[in-house]
Structure 1
Amino acid sequence: NDTLLVDLLTPALAAFLKQCPDIRLDVLLSNQSLNLSKRDADVAIRATDHPPETLVGRRAARIAWALYGRASDFTEAGTIEIGHLWEHRWVSLGEQFTGLKAVRYLAQHVAAERIVYKVNTVLGLAEAVEAGIGIGFLPCFIADTKPGLTRLAAPDPGFSADLWLLTHPDLRHSPRVRLFLDFIAVELGRMKPLIEGSLAMSPRGTVADAPPSDAT
């Protein structure tokens, strides 16, 4: 989707094309899974804990999510009691994203009237938090690069999802597909600390202070 493309993949794709100028890339963005068996695409880059058994590939990283707020709204030093935030204004992704663990958790634990803003893109969600509309859960690889945001809690492992590089078994030995997968795997490996949420400064609190999560 656009989140992975804008914040992670575009620099890696640019580096790949610089190294391999004879290769052309046709990038398709979709929140729906394309059918690699029907050759809708040669390679899929997906955030999922359950990649299709019909595809082969490798896990590049584990995408971390954490709770963020606008930095200017949380300027006091010291630990924030996460329990005090449940009455805060919240922002969330829409119902079409209930497959995401963080979205389900928010719907289960925050009163509906406190969720004042919903949007159907993760980039739009990050912009909403940065604008001060409310606090919300965001992927660390987006939020930790924005000076206007601050972590309010450590990444919750229960919200994480694997990032996979996948292709059809018939293409796994294609020289160009193999070259692309190997290159992108190395580039994402360099960004792994950012993707997995280990680059940010120590958070103010932990999600462990919140009501127990039953996200699965």
Structure 2
Amino acid sequence: MFDWENIRYFLAVARTGTLSGAARSLKVDHATVSRRLSALEGEIKTRLIERQPKACKLTPIGQRVLELAQEMEEGAYAIERFLDASRSPLSGKVTLSAPPMLVANFLVKHLTVFRHANPGVQLSVSGETRQVSLSRREADVVLRLTRPEEPTSVVRKLGRVTFGLYASKDYPHLHDPSAWEFIAYDAGFVGVSQQKWLMNIAGKRPIACEISDINGHLVAARAGAGVAGLPDFLADTDAKLQRVPYDGEAFSRDIWMAVHEDLRRSPQIRAVMDFLLKVVAENPVFADNG
């Protein structure tokens, strides 16, 4: 019988298309992925992946093994979810994936309250923008600013993040919109709703800089680098920033919570879900008035 861990490495290579991509997703080094893949092919005495200079291509047998391995993986995760759901009340580790801006600027402020109320639950919070898989246990609960689409998930809308335009109170063009320069996202955000909203407002006015994360936009706006589109909950209370009026549509993004349907009644998962629902609902800036 072959080693299941080697199958897990094979799945990562098949999904990312490269050894380096698999290494990043598994948080190991490139050599470990290569060694595990070679070990699997040695165990079954069959080539599964053709290693090309810039990518890894599945062989015909590799494609079929991928399909079977995905079924094995789903079965393993189903067992894990079942065991977690039947665990004794309010104990164990729960992983939460949420957008970095919500983690760093909102959720961490409430973790002490959660811990005091649920001392047996270890909450592991990861700030990330990628769409993690609940089925593959990449997270137990997710918060997202776009509606999660995984078919096995149970989804609930919690509230709304509204956005506005902000600049430093010392920005030299604060009261001259024609001279505004904008802080935008980089090329990786083409098509993202926040970027499209900001670029529509900017029009033909210049882009001062491009930054890939919202906290960078906040710091740059504070420093007077230009006008930024920022979440109101993040910028309205900042003493160094001034909200500025603009011509254009209001913009907001909904906050969605999702959990795998197998885990929604698990006591420790339920505790995290109730915590998220409570802290968002109690913050008036997230109120959904639309």
- TM-score, normalised relative to structure 2: 0.59
Which residue of 1 is the match for residue 123 of structure 2? 25
Separation in 2, partners of 1:187, 1:95: 34
Given candidates 39, 59, 64, the residue that maps to 2:157 is 59
Q: Deviations over 1:119-152 (max 9, x none)?
A: 1110010111111010121111111121111111
State the identity %: 28
Structure 2: stretches of 5+ with no match in the other structure: 1-98
Separation in 1, partners of 2:120, 2:254: 31
Separation in 2, partners of 1:56, 1:7: 26
Q: 1:92 to 1:147 in 2, by over 3 A?
A: same
Contact 2:178–2:205 (Cα < 8 Å) also in 1: no
Structure 1: stretches of 5+ with no match in the other structure: 199-216
Q: Does residue 194 in structure 1 map to residue 285 in structure 2?
A: yes
Aligned residues: 190
Given candidates 140, 151, 159, the residue that maps to 1:42 is 140
Q: 1:120 to 1:197 in 2, by over 3 A?
A: farther
- TM-score, normalised relative to structure 1: 0.78
Q: Deviations over 1:62-107 (max 9, x none)?
A: 110111111233899xxx6xxx524311111222223432311333
Q: Does residue 92 in structure 1 map to residue 184 in structure 2?
A: yes
Q: 1:2 to 1:163 in 2, by over 3 A?
A: same
Separation in 2, partners of 1:160, 1:47: 10
Contact 1:141–1:197 (Cα < 8 Å) also in 2: no
Which residue of 2 is the match for residue 105 of structure 1? 197
Which residue of 2 is the match for residue 121 of structure 1? 213
Q: 1:157 to 1:111 in 2, by over 3 A?
A: closer
Q: Does residue 171 in structure 1 map to residue 269 in structure 2?
A: no
Separation in 2, partners of 1:178, 1:157: 37
Relative contact order higher in (CA < 8 Å, ≥ 6 apart): 1
Larger Rg belongs to? 2
Which residue of 2 is the match for residue 13 of structure 1? 111
Q: 1:75 to 1:148 in 2, by over 3 A?
A: farther
**Which deviates the most, 158-167 or 169-178?**
158-167
Contact 1:143–1:149 (Cα < 8 Å) also in 2: yes
Q: 1:74 to 1:21 in 2, by over 3 A?
A: farther
